[in-house]
Amino acid sequence: MIEMSNFMLEVRDLTTKYITRFQEDVYAVDGVSLQVEEGKSLGIAGESGCGKSTLALSLMGYYFPPLHYTGGEIIIDGRNISGMDPDDVRKSILGTEIAYIPQSAMNALNPTQKVIHFIEDVVLAHDPTESKKFIYDLARANFLLLGLPEEVLHKYPVELSGGMKQRTVIAVSVILSPQVLIADEPSSALDVTTQKMVIKMLRGLVENGFIKSLIFITHELPLLYNVTDDIMVMYAGQIVEKASAKEAVFDPLHPYAKGLMGSIIVPEEGLRDVKLTAIPGVPPNLKDPPEGCRFAERCKYVMPECKVTSVPLCDAGVGRAYRCILPEKTLREFYSREANYNAR
């Protein structure tokens, strides 16, 4: 089924679940919708366990137990991959249409293979007719364009530093020129200098045409400000806020997004002197999520109706939405009063 779209990636009401060994359903992605335009990047932020990594796996359309597709649509460059057979997804979608850099990507390389042999396996899995000379020339050209020396191709992973391993995995992930790249916590476990190199590399992938769109997943909202055009904040399997990167970092609307920003040290101008605050409590158990707002038990602005009323995403202007029953004006009044009190 082919659909015309202005987006490289469009997701409509995607729901996926884990089925535990006790046959319990855990809806880690619940009714998520998103769009990413060509040449743009989208950041997804939230605490550990909020569903970010499950969303990344779900977006590829490649499901295997305990993760199961439940409903919704995933459309990549006009092609609807929802409900496709896993073998068809692996052969015709993964690597060419959409690629994935997993958490702990540094461990993705085979320790018994030189990097070039790993790349050969990746390319030949999609096209067994390609020659080793073609693959080597392709890998060398891509590595040089991405600022990686040719000699990396002849090394074993153990011979590379952590930062070089991460950059190598990124280079391998785009070897087949995917339309969309999903990077799941690609800068975690790296020192600050190496983080900057990885971030610069990821931004360059879009700017230089290696990929058409990027999805960057992290628990650090401020990091996304320097990488992505737009940001979505996830909580308990749902999207609770959508905004431009600048709005999400400097002017969050949803109480959870506000709390997330308030719990992180931010070096950006205008936020350096903000007092750090923790979000009390823990996310709900998604085996039995609450009927109303999923953030209600942790929210300082909670009202009785929050715990019983299902809350849809509310429009808050062009490209912006948040999931809260409180009007935008009321939330801003709360935040203003709180800021004035803390400034005393």
Q: Per residue in 107-126, pLDDT tens?
A: 788 899 999 999 999 999 88
Average pLDDT rounded to a whole number, residues 218-237? 89
Residue showing tokens 């950006």: 268
Q: Are 133 and 140 in contact (CB under 8 A)?
A: no
Q: What is the CA radius of gyration of the chain?
A: 21
Per-residue tokens: 86: 């896993």
pLDDT at 275: 65
How do residues 245-281 score in pLDDT, each as one tens digit?
999 988 999 999 999 887 765 555 555 555 667 788 8
DSSP 165-224: HHHHHHHHHTTT--SEEEEESTTTTS-HHHHHHHHHHHHHHHHTTS-SEEEEEES-HHHH
Residue 326 has pLDDT above 50, yes or no: yes
Which domains are delineated in the chain? 7-105+179-342 (3.40.50.300)
DSSP bridge pairs for 68: 17
Please give the helix or strand (H or E) that residue 231 lies within, else none: strand 230-235
pLDDT band for 219, please (50, 70, 90 cuts): confident
Q: Mean pLDDT lowest for which of 96-105, 108-117, 128-137?
A: 96-105
pLDDT at 267: 55
